[in-house]
Amino acid sequence: MTSVSRLLETALYVDDVDRSCEFYQRVLGLRPLSGVTTKEGATRAFQPLNVPGGQVLLLFLKGSTTTTAVLPGGTIPRHDGNGRLHLAFAISGDDLDAWRKCLQSHGVSIEGEVKWPRGGTSLYFRDPDGHLVELATPGLWSTY
């Protein structure tokens, strides 16, 4: 049987792509992927961010993907999301206190913290659109 090898990308739908991109760059150190351009003066509708380990966080302007995108190489079916979503980033257990200080220094409030039975710890906070972001140390899942 065939199987997938990893999660490649995930998407968040945001009110302001520039604001969200700045937040994820400033707070989590994610960097925009090169090769993405926007017309001068146009509202940016899309920005992929590089997540270490070969993964991508896609930021889409809410409502900008509700029609099929026709590209030279094919089509991308319509998609969109709404409501407050959740995503988690893996961090080292040794960096947990540094992350608390980092979030505080950026004015980001930690909404919750959980110490998991397997030994991991999760910190929870919100991005500018109210999405719940989690930083998790090893010991959260049997696979992590």
Q: Which of 110, 108, 111 is nearest to 128 (CA)?
A: 108
* φ/ψ (deg, to 5) at 65: -120, 30
**Tens of pLDDT along 108-132?**
999 999 999 999 999 999 999 999 9
pLDDT, residue 45, reads 86
* Domains of the chain: total: 2
Q: So what's the pLDDT on residue 6?
A: 85
Cβ atoms of 91 and 137 closer than 8 Å: yes
pTM above 0.85, yes or no: yes
Question: What value does the mean pLDDT take over residues 52-59?
Answer: 94
Q: Are 63 and 17 in contact (CB under 8 A)?
A: no
Domain that holds residue 110: 83-144
The mean predicted confidence, pLDDT, of the chain is: 91
CB 78 within 8 A of CB 67: yes
Residue 137 burial (10 A CB sphere; 0-12, 13-18, 19+): buried
Domain co-membership, 40 together with 55: yes
Domain check: are 40 and 109 in the same one? Answer: no
Over residues 30-51, the pLDDT tens digits come to: 999 976 555 555 567 889 999 9
What tokens does 136 get?
A: 């998790």
SS3 46: strand
Q: For residue 29, is pLDDT > 80?
A: yes
CATH of the domain at 129: 3.10.180.10
Asked if pLDDT for residue 53 goes beyond 80, the answer is: yes
